[in-house]
Amino acid sequence: MNWRFENTGVHSGVFNMEYDIALARALVNGVGNPTICVYAWQPFAISLGWNQSMDEIDLTKTSASGIDVVRRPTGGRAILHSEELTYSVVMRAKGKNVLSVYDDISRALVIGLLALGAPVAIEKSQPHFPSIYRTTSAAACFSSTGRYEIKCYGKKIVGSAQRRYAADDGEEVVLQHGSILIGPDHKRMIDFLNLPSEGERDALRRELNEKTTELSTVLHRVITFEEVAEAILQGFQKAWSITPEVVNTIDEELKVNI
């Protein structure tokens, strides 16, 4: 099967998540292609990890601010999708475990981001997430960094999550997607969390400032979605030695299943 690179542009959170699932289901059913996809969100949206409680989000505030709330098919914690590019990769696992696939994808992303001039690196340590998830700050995805996620100057700049589906032939299909931070607006995530006190909100805001960064800050210039998309395409081409078919429109066969 030939690789595809799809830039599906700007859509709602529900559409973006359902399209990722449709790509994975197509590959599970043997009718799809391994695909790298990039997209943005309109209106801006908060995505929750598959098992994350909706109670952690102040839905009154999100509604008043015109922020959608949607659940991801993958794990992890809440992300505000605004000034960023979301990537997804749908592929057959070919016997590779979760961390191996993370590493493969991160290497491709790093090559692309380095080409933009961002001195990024792959995180090698792994925190104890069960302990972290018991803390209040765990509600926000970018408050912690897992192994093979991507940092810049020691701060998280890409957050990712993965899910696997069983195909009929016994092979696993991987869906991994993640947020590449372009601007600082992701930090507004703190405003929409249900927290015990404003003091805790302020502390979490400081923590996010200390632990995260974004391309516009690192590169000291305006970064566009399109130039990041092009860099990511080049990163996968070089890291994986592939020449994907580049598609900038929605696959109609998949669209009817959403």
- Give CA–CA dist 153/6, Å, rounded: 30
Strands 172-181 and 4-11: unpaired
Query: How many Cα atoms within 13 Å fall on the side-chain side of residue 141?
Result: 26
Question: Which residue is associated with the tokens 């859509």?
Answer: 11
Main-chain dihedrals φ then ψ at residue 44, nearest 5 degrees: -55, 150
List the structure tokens of 37. 């996809």
Q: Which residue has the tokens 């509604």?
A: 63
Please give the radius of gyration of the chain, using alpha carbons only, rounded to the nearest integer: 17
Sign for the pseudo-dihedral over CA of 238, 242, 245, 251: negative
- Tally the C-alpha atoms within 13 A of residue 82's C-alpha that lie toward its C-beta: 17
Gap between the terminal Cα atoms of the chain: 23
Neighbours of 32 (CB within 10 A): 20
**Which are the catalytic amino acids?**
141
